């Protein structure tokens, strides 16, 4: 993949996760009240697992992106700059957003000719400070 394609790959992953969270988040409270949260969360994890299978490396993951509102990668809608750095079969895609938002750093690995996301970090930045990068959970 070319650099632009790696950025598009990361953005496509983020869009799918955001869409999933936007679909499930409004229903979470009502499912808890009805006592169906276990089945509800299992359905969410199953759909998230299909997304993860397409985009993430094949290592065991103990966490799934939580059901959140706004979605986990919502700040990426405000992308102002993207950069790609490559070293052999690895790449780092940084998505920088407008001030006061989260920036993202996705680490990708090419295995068997296919690029996959292995991990990501995020940081908050404003005009006054930039926080350190912190790993996120998939």
- DSSP notation for 55-71: HB-SS--S------SS-
DSSP assigned state of 132 = P
Per-residue pLDDT of 114-138, as tens digits, reads: 999 999 999 998 889 999 999 988 7
Q: Residue 108 has what pLDDT?
A: 98
| DSSP E strands, the chain | 79-87, 90-97, 102-111, 114-124, 134-135
Residue pLDDT tens, the chain, 138 long: 999 999 999 999 999 999 999 999 988 878 777 877 788 888 999 999 999 999 999 988 777 778 888 899 999 988 889 999 999 999 999 999 987 789 999 999 999 999 999 999 999 988 899 999 999 887
Helix, strand and coil content of the chain, in percent to the nearest 5, comes to 40, 30, 30
What residue segments make up the domains of the chain, in order of their start?
Answer: 3-135
Sheet with strand 90-97: strands edge to edge: 79-87, 90-97, 102-111, 114-124, 134-135
Q: Give the whole-angstrom CA distance, residue 71 versus residue 36.
A: 22
Pairing of β 90-97 and β 79-87: antiparallel
């Amino acid at each position: 993949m070319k650099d632009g394609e790696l950025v598009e790959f990361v953005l496509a992953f983020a869009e799918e996760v955001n869409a999933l969270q936007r679909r499930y988040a409004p229903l979470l409270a009502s499912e808890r009240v009805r006592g169906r949260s276990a089945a509800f969360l299992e359905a969410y994890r199953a759909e998230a697992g299909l997304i993860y299978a397409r985009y993430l490396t094949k290592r065991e993951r103990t966490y799934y992106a939580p059901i959140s509102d706004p979605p986990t990668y919502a700040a990426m809608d405000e992308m102002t700059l993207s950069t790609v750095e490559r070293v052999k079969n690895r790449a780092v895609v940084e998505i920088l957003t407008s001030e006061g938002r989260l920036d993202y750093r996705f680490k990708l690995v090419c295995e068997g000719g296919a690029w996959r996301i292995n991990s990501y970090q995020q940081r908050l930045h404003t005009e006054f400070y930039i926080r350190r990068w912190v790993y996120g959970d998939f």
